[in-house]
Structure 1
Amino acid sequence: MRTVHVVTHPEATHHVEGAVGGWHDSRLTPAGLRAAASLAQALRARIPDGAEVELFSSDLQRTRQAAEEVAELFGVTPIPDRRLREKSYGQAQGKPQEWLDRRFVPPPAVGERMDHDEGVEGAETKAEWAQRSYAAMGEILQRPCEHQIVVTHGGSLTFVIASWIKMPIESAGYVSFRAPSGSITTLREDDFFHNRHVVSLGDARHLDTALRAVP
C-alpha cells in the first residue's frame, strides 16, 4: 500500500507582507517555522517506525525550510524539484497583491481556460503549471516506496491531487482543492484494486488556530 502525504508549506513572509508569492523566494515566518515543526511531528506520528520514506520538495526557500524540519525527524534527505513550485506570476512576483489584482484577467466560465492569458507579463498559463506538476508527480509515483512526502504550495496542491486521481489536464482547469497553509493531505493507493483514495484534504489539526491561514 502506498501513502502520499502532501504538505502545503506554512506561513511565509509574502503572506504577512501582502505580496504575490509564485516564484518569489520568500521564507517562512517565525510562526511558519513553528508550524513546520508541528507538521513534522504530525507526520512522524502517522508513519510507522521503520517504514520506507521518501521526501520531495519544491526548491523554493519556504518549502525547503518545511522539508528540512520533516527530514530531520525521518533521517532522510529532501529531493528538490522545481516542478513542484507554485505558479509563476511573472513580473507580479514579490509585488503587492493589489498590483496583481488590478491587472489580473480571470478565465472564462466556459471555453479555453488552461491556455488563458491572465494579463500579466511572464506569468505561466495554467496549462504550463499543470503540465510540470503532473510530470513531477508522475516520476514520484514511478518510485516504489511505501510512504512518500511531498512538500509543495497551496496552489500546486490542486494539480498534485488531480494528477493522483488521473484527471485529464484539460479537466483540471475547472477544479480547485483548497487547503490551509501548513496542512497535510493524505492520498492512498490500495494493494488489491489499486484504487487511489483522497483520504483527507488539508488536515490542520496539528496547527494552532492562529496559523491556519488559507493562502
Structure 2
Amino acid sequence: MTQRLTEILLIRHGETAWNAERRLQGFLDIGLNEQGRQQAAALALALRDEAIDAVFASDLQRARDTAEAIATPRGLAVSTDANLRERCFGAFEGLRYDEIVDHFPEAWAQWQAREIDARYPAGVQAAETLREFSARAVAAVSAIASRHPGQKIAIVTHGGVLDCLYRAARGVDLQQPRDFDIMNTGVNRFGWADGALHVVSWGDVRHLDPAALDEIGQ
C-alpha cells in the first residue's frame, strides 16, 4: 500500500558569528548572532500562513532557536534530535578554515576531495567519516518523516545534513563537488513516501530580501 506523502520543510539554522568568520562549528554549540535572529524572525513571518503539524530540530542551540521561531506562534513544542546535528569534525572544530589548512594540511586535502571514508584527527570527540555522517542524517530525517504520514513538518538542521539529504534524494554521489547553495534559513521542500525522499524545491530565501529584513527590524 502506498504511504501518504509527508511534506518536509528542511531548513538550515540562522547565521552564527562563527558562520560569519568561517570558523567550523560541527558539534560545538554556538548560538545565533543578531543577523541570525533576524533571519529566523523573517523565516517565521514568511511561513506564518502554512499549516505545519510538527517542528523538529537538532539539539544544538543555533538550530533549536531557529526552530522556536517557527513553533512558538503555532503553540507547538520543538522536538529535538541529536541525530540531526552537523557532522562531527573532531580536531577541526573551533578552527577557521585557514587554520585547518595550516594545522592539518593532509586532512584538509581529504576534506576538500570529499573522501567519504577519511576520518580527521580527533578533538574532544572522534570525527565522523562522510559516509557515517550521511547515513546518520538520512536515517534521522527518514525516521521522523515516517512517523508523520500525510502531515507537513518542519525540520531545522545544519548545512552538512542538508547536503547529504539533497544528494540522497537526487542520487548525487557524496564525492561529487557541491554545485548547489545551502543558505542560512533557506527553505528546502522535500516529500517522503514509501521509504524515499524527493526534492520538491530548493533554496527559497525570498524572506532574506533586504526589504523583508528591514520589516523585521522595524
TM-score interval, normalised by the smaller of the two chains? 0.7 to 0.9
CA distance in 2, matches of 1:53, 1:150: 11
Alignment of 1:10-29 (within 5 A): 10-29=14-33
Give how far 1:29 is off: 0.5
Secondary structure of the structure 1 residue equivalent to 2:110: coil
Which position in structure 2 is the counterpart of 1:135?
A: 139
Give how far 1:24 is off: 1.6
With normalisation by structure 2, the TM-score equals 0.79
Q: Which stretch of the first structure deviates more once superposed, 27-36 or 174-183?
A: 174-183
Runs ≥4 in structure 1, deviation > 2 angstroms? 105-109, 116-123, 160-163, 165-168, 171-178, 193-197, 208-212
CA deviations on 1:120-150 (whole Å, 9 max, x unpaired) are 6632210111111022012112112410111
RMSD: 3.0
Which position in structure 1 is the counterpart of 2:118?
A: 116
> 8 Å contact 1:86–1:153 — kept in the other structure?
yes
Which position in structure 1 is the counterpart of 2:100?
A: 100
Which position in structure 1 is the counterpart of 2:57?
A: 57
Structure with more helix by fraction: 2
Which position in structure 1 is the counterpart of 2:188?
A: 185
CA 211–140 in structure 1, closer or farther in 2 if over 3 Å, else same: same
CA deviations on 1:10-30 (whole Å, 9 max, x unpaired) are 111212343211112111001
CA distance in 2, matches of 1:162, 1:25: 26
CA distance in 1, matches of 2:28, 2:188: 24
1:83 paired with 2:83, answer: yes
> 8 Å contact 1:8–1:181 — kept in the other structure?
yes
CA distance in 2, matches of 1:101, 1:131: 27
> 8 Å contact 2:170–2:198 — kept in the other structure?
no
CA distance in 1, matches of 2:65, 2:112: 37
Alignment of 1:136-215 (within 5 A): 136-143=140-147, 144-163=149-168, 165=169, 167=171, 171-174=173-176, 176=178, 177-188=180-191, 197-209=198-210
CA distance in 1, matches of 2:86, 2:68: 18
With normalisation by structure 1, the TM-score equals 0.80
CA 180–211 in structure 1, closer or farther in 2 if over 3 Å, else same: farther
CA 24–92 in structure 1, closer or farther in 2 if over 3 Å, else same: same
1:36 paired with 2:45, answer: no
Q: Which stretch of the first structure deviates more once superposed, 125-134 or 196-205?
A: 196-205
CA deviations on 1:62-87 (whole Å, 9 max, x unpaired) are 00110111111222111111111111
Secondary structure of the structure 2 residue equivalent to 1:11: coil
Q: Which stretch of the first structure deviates more once superposed, 126-135 or 175-184?
A: 175-184
> 8 Å contact 2:71–2:78 — kept in the other structure?
yes
Q: What amino acid is aligned across from residue 58 of structure 1 in structure 2?
A: S
CA distance in 2, matches of 1:210, 1:8: 21
CA distance in 2, matches of 1:180, 1:107: 20
CA 132–210 in structure 1, closer or farther in 2 if over 3 Å, else same: farther
Could you tell me which runs of 5 or more consecutive residues in structure 2 were left unpaired when the two chains were aligned.
214-218
Aligned length: 201
CA 93–44 in structure 1, closer or farther in 2 if over 3 Å, else same: same
Give how far 1:183 is off: 0.7
> 8 Å contact 1:12–1:62 — kept in the other structure?
yes
